[in-house]
Structure 1
Amino acid sequence: MANDVTFTRPEYDAAKSRWRLVRDVCKGSETIKAAGELYLPRPNAHDLSDENKERYKGYKARAVFFNATGRTKHSLVGAVFRTWPTLTLPGALDYVSRDIDGQGVSIYQQSQSVIGHLLEVGRHGLLVDYAAVEAGTVSRADEIAGRARSSVSSYPAEAIRNWKTRRVGGQHLLSLVVLRETVDVDTEDGFGSEQVTQYRVLRLDAAGIYTQEIWQQGKSATELVTPPFAPLNGSGLPWTVIPFQFLGSENNDTSIDDSPLYDMAEVNIGHYRNSADYEDAAFLMGQPQVFMAGLDEQWVKLLEEKGIYFGSRAILPLPANGSAGILQAQANTMIKEAMDAKEEQLVALGARLIERGSAVKTATQADSDSAAEHSVLSLVVNNVSEGYTQCLAWMVEFTGATGEAEYKLNQDFTQISLDANIMAGLFNAVQGGRLPVTDFWQYLRDRGVINPEKDDDQIRDELQTDATGLNLDDETGVKADGRQSSDP
């Protein structure tokens, strides 16, 4: 087709199944079981009878999905935000700490979500734009009144359907990005709403000018609803780059990176399938089976009429030479051993919440054990920090503001604690002139005692302000500071 805005790149199509697997596993048991045979094959799949369908329902219902992958993701995100990020902004962008996307989501909340996405699929995108502005026409008065603000919109990997680059001078620049969006449209009665799919096309035209256009998917075709327009920067000039930032688990280029949690998700599904077999076997074979031998037809009819009762107070009549007993299946640990082996694999892949070691580890041992996970997480965190810093620079250009803009996430993922003896020693060193007070403040910033966004001058000013205090005289005529009062 000449204008197929719905086109997707081959590498996008190849990655979709991997992305869905990790996404579904992280969502948990309800999503996995709702997918049915996609993750849990039906026993005797060739048997299409109603009886086999009912058996599969029970087989799936008894299976236990233990979401080690999702718990690991949340644990890693929590480790990043154990220490609060550092945000440096010019005054015109103060609102970013409270609302970065125009919908009340702060940069801290948005970046938490972005890190989770990168851990799941290894890919994400951020678009810097003016929120709810048509044709890119924004006046300075609109900015001051808050009617228009530069914003950062977050796009999951599945929404970034097409992209291209071209060489301009000595660098490769984005020349095309197609983003799939879903918008709510009110129904005619004004009460309900329906979701409509649209495609936002970011393009660098032949003249090197950045434009946007919007296509909307209708019942019969996808049509252009917003013709191309050129957003303007704070100086009223068109952009010569597309302000869209790719984020990845390995680097921030346009290529699709590997999912850090994909291997865990695969093992997690294998564990789920083993659990289904294990629980099904326990259900079928765990119940005792009664047998009787030596009964003729008359005895069989008699027992059917009278019923059979078991227990220490019940009498079970049998004919001469008759016998009764209970069949009990022998323990079969093969499936359980397979589950245990997969749990060990999950631990090796980074599922720290599955099993805690019985021995107390030293800090050095803990750092060594988690080095592999931390190296992957550190790379993700560094990419997110760099990506948001670039987006903030674009926001500065959009608003025409001046000043430094930076966002830096914590990369020390070990458990942070305060040691009273160390604190006392450092404080004494400061008082004795052997340690600069600014280094002591940095130590407290790293442990969350001091707001990491406060610089040394702010801390010094606050301490000087708080140090004035009350200067009351005591009953003996001696002032609170120890000097003799001149009053009678």
Structure 2
Amino acid sequence: MKRFALAVAGSMVDMPVSQDNITVAQADALQIRPYLAFYKAESILNWEMARVNNAYRLVNLWLSEHFKNNEGEQEQQIRQLTFDKGVYTQLVWRQKSGEGTSKKETAEWYVDQTIVPQKGGSSFAEIPFYPVSARKPTIKIIAPPIDSLVDVNISHYQNSADLENGAHVSGLPTPYITGLSMDYNDQGQSVGPKLALGTWTAWILENAESKVGFVHVGADGFATLEKLLDRKEKQMASLGARMLSPEKNSAEAAQTHEIKRSGESSVLSATCGVIEHQIKKALRFAADWQGIQGDIPSN
């Protein structure tokens, strides 16, 4: 079964809500300045893309957060980042309080806060959320680079479990006897002789054709499983090294070239490049919001 994973995270540039008509010095004293809030993949609930003028841009984004209620307990809230009619707005959704877990799960959601971030009295013309994923700065669902390695690792675990279980079962002493007649009573219970197993215990059997022994697995009993384990360990080592090794810079189809990106870079270094690029964009937005001039340094 193919797993579809959301290998996307992202950072949102935000600023604490402050009072109106305060000076820059007052805002600095209160430490009211832009900051970056990181959201992992599980916190990105949904999103919507739409054409804005001549660009395909993010117009709605739903993020899962937690807040402390009046009793000091953690509760979920959803922060919706929306861009409509040229205005960037935040809507904070919360559930109406109710008694009991079942009532809370079915409680109605309502808008607890409506925030319109502004700079100098003007709203922003974009949603300041900067997604990161493997190789691309996109919010689309893609397969994680480690996906194939995880598949092999799970299969390796299953083979290992089979091998350990087989070794445990076959390693226990299991004696057998042939040619021994057993009598049973009306309840189907054996009434024959009880044979003890251990040191200083001898079995004397009347039937000369009787045979005794221990059930065991031959030398090649688990050879197949052991070979599978060795092969998958080598495969995992190869897949892990592939994430660090440079990709081949050869002629490719346009679609393959878009997937792999141009140039020679490993999957890991390419992902690091995407993260660096998106963080710099977020920092530039935060600096502009704060009114700081100049470029964001590379280091």
- Shorter-normalised TM range: 0.7 to 0.9
* RMSD between superposed Cα atoms in Å: 3.0
Quick check: 1:196–1:217 contact (8 Å CA) kept in 2?
A: no
Shift of 1:388: 0.6
Q: Secondary structure at the match of 1:396?
A: helix
Which has more strand, going by share of residues?
2
The 1:136–1:347 alpha-carbon spacing in structure 2 relative to 1, beyond 3 Å, is farther
2:227 paired with 1:337:
yes
Quick check: 1:165–1:172 contact (8 Å CA) kept in 2?
A: yes
Q: Percent identity?
A: 27
**Partner in structure 1 of residue 37 of structure 2:** 153
Shift of 1:162: 2.6
Matched residue pairs, number? 263
Shift of 1:263: 0.9
Q: What is the 5 A alignment of 1:179-198?
A: 179-187=63-71, 193=73, 195-198=74-77
Question: TM-score, normalization: structure 2?
Answer: 0.76
Quick check: 1:137–1:231 contact (8 Å CA) kept in 2?
A: no
Shift of 1:261: 0.7
Shift of 1:325: 2.0
Distance 1:274 1:250 in 2: 33
**Partner in structure 2 of residue 209 of structure 1:** 87
Quick check: 1:292–1:323 contact (8 Å CA) kept in 2?
A: yes
Quick check: 2:4–2:143 contact (8 Å CA) kept in 1?
A: no
2:290 to 392, 395, 399: 399
Q: What is the 5 A alignment of 1:30-41?
A: none
Shift of 1:404: 2.2
Distance 1:134 1:319 in 2: 95
The 1:283–1:134 alpha-carbon spacing in structure 2 relative to 1, beyond 3 Å, is farther
Distance 2:48 2:146 in 1: 27
Structure 2 unaligned blocks of 5 or more = 97-103, 184-189, 248-263
- What amino acid maps onto 1:226 in structure 2? Q
**Partner in structure 2 of residue 325 of structure 1:** 213
Shift of 1:294: 4.0
Q: Secondary structure at the match of 1:371?
A: coil
Quick check: 1:128–1:391 contact (8 Å CA) kept in 2?
A: yes
Question: TM-score, normalization: structure 1?
Answer: 0.49
Distance 1:136 1:270 in 2: 59
The 1:128–1:259 alpha-carbon spacing in structure 2 relative to 1, beyond 3 Å, is same
Distance 1:340 1:138 in 2: 67
Which has more helix, going by share of residues?
1
Structure 1 unaligned blocks of 5 or more = 1-14, 20-120, 353-366, 409-488
Distance 2:169 2:46 in 1: 51
1:282 to 167, 173, 183: 167
Shift of 1:301: 6.1
The 1:125–1:232 alpha-carbon spacing in structure 2 relative to 1, beyond 3 Å, is same
Distance 1:252 1:329 in 2: 55
Shift of 1:163: 2.4
Q: Secondary structure at the match of 1:147?
A: coil
**Partner in structure 2 of residue 258 of structure 1:** 143
Q: Secondary structure at the match of 2:266?
A: helix
The 1:277–1:138 alpha-carbon spacing in structure 2 relative to 1, beyond 3 Å, is farther
